[in-house]
A and B are shown apart, each in its own frame.
Chain A
Amino acid sequence: MKSAKFDHQRMVTLEEAVAALGSADGEARIMGGGQSLGPMMNLRLAQPDLLIDLSRVGGLDGIEVAGDTIRIGARVTHARIEDGAVPGVTGAYMQFVASGISYRSVRNRGTIGGSVAHADPSADWPSALLALGGDVVIAGQDGERRMPLDGFQIGPFATGLGFEEILTGFELPTLGEGAKCGYYKVNRKPGEFADAIGAVVIGSAPRVVCGATEAAPFRVAAAEERLAAGVAEISVADARDMIAAQDPGFDDYDLQIHAVALSRAVGRAFA
């Protein structure tokens, strides 16, 4: 299939891009690497009138550590993260997550900011970063603002980004040496979108995420309490109860694979 017609504007500054979003006639979309939006356009699930190309905008592909925060630009590719561009324990966790996203030829172009802004519930970064915690950095007409990753995604393909705002990066915690991370994705073939995701990060406090749902990924409070109490494993049966308690609307099969993902993610964190 081929994409429907659209106009294309190549921006040089973020201000220009924000202005273009505001003045667009019809639906305007920001394109990062285009590895999610591109297929959706080819399948005509997405038919934007205008694509705003940020590939010439400077300052979006940096990775820098500032104290206890790692700043990652929106345009950093999965491949760079897979190759170890993010330092420390946070970087090792992100490296593992990145290596499971699609295939190398997609990871070479797909970007972390694009993935989170696109907010496909089955994608890896929305769940993986929610487990890490931290902030999303957003540019708009009034300059820059931050939103916590908690609550950023509000549903499938829906986030807290305004119509005239652009996700420009992330501020993520630098995990200490003692931090534990585990990520488990259920899919039938390597590189596919997830059927279920379990993500566990135990830094200053445990954060446990159930992802690849019909809506936004969510934190599993009972699992976090259990890990905070010093327990180092969660059985599949317990994970089922913990997830079901949050009323995600799963059928029995979905509940089972999400429980397995959560249980195995905890296992990987303590491996």
Chain B
Amino acid sequence: MTELTLKINGEDVTADVEPRLSLADFVRDHRRLTGTHLGCEHGVCGACTVLMNGEPVRSCITFAVAADGTEITTIEGFDDDDPMTMLRQAFHENHALQCGYCTPGMLVAARDIVTRLPDADEDRVRLELAGNLCRCTGYVGIVNAILSVIEKRQA
């Protein structure tokens, strides 16, 4: 077992974990933050995307021990975050989700797109979304939602 100290959604957390425990399983099973979803568990589908020190990472291929000393934000930790508030509204308005399985990771990736690439056009948004798989929507609603937030933030 390895001792782990980190911050999750602003809260200080200390735990003793097995080295093989993924960050995703840590937040889901040990912290009961089940908004983070596990799809492929090898870094391809993006459902498990969370923020580590403000940057999106794959929590399924990041061991919890590798998150020692970092600040993690899961989908439950964005209630006071302006870009995320706008994205949630835009996802709702643009029908950007159906089953919702990819949505937590999609929103974290979308937040990275609108904050890091404030001038992104449709092609760029689609390119950036290559790492987040949605098998329901065909991406049209998701892309439109993200583009609408980019437009609002430019205004």
Contact = CB atoms under 8 A, between A and B. Distances in A.
Contacts of B104: none
Interface stretch (A104-112, A114-122, A262-270): A104-112
Interface in A138-189: 189
Interface string B15-29: 000111010010000
A8 B41 contact: no
A191 B127 CA distance: 9
Interface residues of B, number: 31
Interface in B117-132: 127-128, 130-132
A55 B68 CA distance: 10
B37 interface: no
Interface string A1-41: 11111111010000000000000000000010011001101
Contact of A38 (B52, B63, B131): B63
A103 interface: yes
Most buried by A among B22, B66, B68: B66
B128 A1 contact: no
B109 interface: yes
B57 interface: yes
Nearest to B49: A105
Chain B contact residues, majority secondary structure: mixed
B2 interface: yes
Contacts, number: 92
Given A10-B68, A34-B62, A104 B56 contact: yes
Contacts of B18: 5
B57 A8 contact: no
A235 interface: no
B66 A108 contact: no
Contact of B43 (A4, A53, A106, A189): A106
Closest 6 CB pairs of A and B: A103-B131, A38-B61, A8-B19, A39-B42, A105-B56, A190-B130
Interface of A: 1-8, 10, 31, 34-35, 38-39, 41-43, 51, 53, 55, 79, 102-106, 108-109, 189-191
